[in-house]
Amino acid sequence: MTTRSRRRRRPAAARLVLGLLAVLPLAAACGEDDPYAAYCDTVSEHQQELTETLASGGEAALIEALPILRDLEAESPDDVAGHWTRIVTTLEQLEDALHDAGVEPTAYDAADPPAGLSQEQTDRIAGAADAVGSERTLRALATVEQQVRDVCHTPLTL
């Protein structure tokens, strides 16, 4: 073998190695599990319970659904994690406001707040409830619902 033919092979071999290095990450990604599998499993595990919990309606139902929503937030993919955090945090703030006021979520009526609440407690509960129903929170909920349909091919609730 001549020196000239060895020189031609080196660039060809280098191109081959570089080509393989470029393809390896793609091949490895194809062999990995679905990055949404755990999230979609969590959605499936909680669909029925979430549907039943939310069927009772109102903000009390959302607070009752918090453990499920926290599980979904914990498994959520990066592209919607912030939206899940928005939903869960907003509901936790309402839950905290009601708890600190000593009021059960199912017993609270904004039109007729329980006797003995201070104006500060009433205002805090009202502010937290407004945040739950805010456009920003509703958009976050719409985003996660659509994302569940797109990646898990199922609705969030049945």
How many angstroms separate the Cα of 11 from the Cα of each of 17, 18, 79, 97, 114?
10, 10, 41, 69, 81
> Percentage of the chain with pLDDT > 70?
80
Same domain, 17 and 95: no
> Do residue 22 and residue 38 come from a single domain?
no
Same domain for 77 and 91, yes or no, is yes
User: Which pairs from 44-50 meet CB under 8 Å and 24+ separation?
Assistant: 44/152, 44/154, 46/71, 46/72, 47/154, 47/155, 47/156, 47/157, 47/158, 48/158, 50/156, 50/157
Mark whether 23 and 74 lie in a shared domain: no
The separation between the first and the last C-alpha atoms of the chain, rounded to the nearest angstrom, is 71
How many Cβ atoms sit within 10 Å of the Cβ of residue 56?
12
15 and 39 belong to one structural domain = no
Instruction: From 140, 38, 46, select the one nearest 84 (Cα to Cα).
Output: 140
Q: What is the pLDDT at residue 109?
A: 87
- How large a percentage of the chain has pLDDT more than 90? 67
Q: So what's the pLDDT on residue 124?
A: 97
CB 63 within 8 A of CB 103: no
Tell which wins on pLDDT, 40 or 1.
40
Q: Are 72 and 46 in contact (CB under 8 A)?
A: yes
pLDDT in tens, 18-67: 333 333 333 333 335 788 999 999 999 999 999 999 998 877 899 999 99
Helix, strand, or coil here: 139? helix
Within a domain: 13? yes
The confidence score (pLDDT) of residue 17 equals 35
User: Token digits for 38?
Assistant: 């755990």
In-domain check, residue 130: yes
| 139 lies in the same domain as 91 | yes
Answer with the residue of higher pLDDT: 7 or 150: 150
Lowest mean pLDDT, pick from 22-31, 66-75, 100-109: 22-31
158 part of a folded domain: no
pLDDT, residue 15, reads 41
Count structural domains, the chain. 2
At residue 83, does pLDDT exceed 70?
A: yes
Query: Is residue 65 located within the same domain as residue 16?
Result: no
Q: Tell me, what's the pLDDT at 2? A: 54
Is 38 within the bounds of a domain? Answer: yes
pLDDT recorded at residue 12:
42
Name the pLDDT band for 3 (thresholds 50, 70, 90): low
Distance CA 37, CA 27 (A): 19
Q: Are residues 131 and 58 in the same domain?
A: yes
Q: Which domain holds residue 19?
A: 1-32
Is residue 9 predicted with pLDDT exceeding 80?
Answer: no
Q: What is the DSSP letter of 128?
A: H
